[in-house]
Amino acid sequence: MKDIARRRLIFSLPLITTLGAGTGFYVMLSRLRTGSFDPKEIKTPQISLPYFNLERVSPFPSFNRNELLRQTKPIVINFFASWCVPCLTEMAILNQLSHKIDIWGIAYKENSHAINEFFSRNDNPYKRIAQDTKGDAGIQWGLTGVPESFLVLPKGIIISHIPKPLSERDVETISNTIG
């Protein structure tokens, strides 16, 4: 009798394995489809503010590293570019988020003229704008593309890096984090 139970157990092993793996794959694929799981997503381990230089974009109020360090409230840093379509579609969400938290924009590989043109067509969600003409600040921040956003707490502590356009869910998460 014991032997039969053992045999049954051994024969059911492949079935159990298949069921387990199947469930795993199903969860993975359905999460891939809804976008809550992305195997290509890059989360860079930034915790302290990197060193970076930015240039002014007139007529917008500008900022640099020291000013970001001196802040007493959280700031969202958003890398964007006028030539980037996902950035354009992200503007609506950013305008929504700008009611809850100050957003500072870094224009990635841009020129002042294109930025001015961009904001003559779109509402500006940014309190301050600076530009990273050569993309060097982007590398310092661990940027892999535009748009990407960082939530920066006072004293320059980066607590989250969202390496894709912000979604409604991200807006919620950010407003929950800052309370």
Partner 1 sequence: MRTLYFFSCLCFLFFSFKTYAVDSPEEMLANPQLEKRAETIGSQLRCLVCQNETIEESSAPLAKDLRQKVREKLVAGDSDEKIMQWMVKRYGNFVRLNPPFNLYTSLLWFIPILSFFGGIILAFGHIRKKTNCTENLSAEEKKHITELLHEPRP
> What residues line the site for partner 1 (CB under 8 A)?
40, 42-46, 50, 109, 134-136, 138-142, 144-145
- CB nearer to partner 1: pick between 54 and 97: 54
Is residue 108 a contact partner of residue 81, using CB atoms and an 8 Å limit?
A: yes
The continuous run of DSSP H or E covering 11 comes out as helix 2-34
Q: Which residue has the tokens 């590293």?
A: 65
Least Å distance, CB 155 to partner 1, is: 19
Distance between CA atoms of residues 179 and 102, nearest Å: 14
Distance between CA atoms of residues 159 and 156, nearest Å: 9
Structure tokens at 69: 């360090």
Is residue 106 a contact partner of residue 80, using CB atoms and an 8 Å limit?
A: yes
- CB nearer to partner 1: pick between 81 and 93: 81
Is residue 158 a contact partner of residue 49, using CB atoms and an 8 Å limit?
A: yes
List 48's β-bridge partners, or say none.
157
- CB nearer to partner 1: pick between 2 and 73: 2
Q: CA angle at residue 170 from 166 to 172, to 5 degrees?
A: 135
Least Å distance, CB 100 to partner 1, is: 29
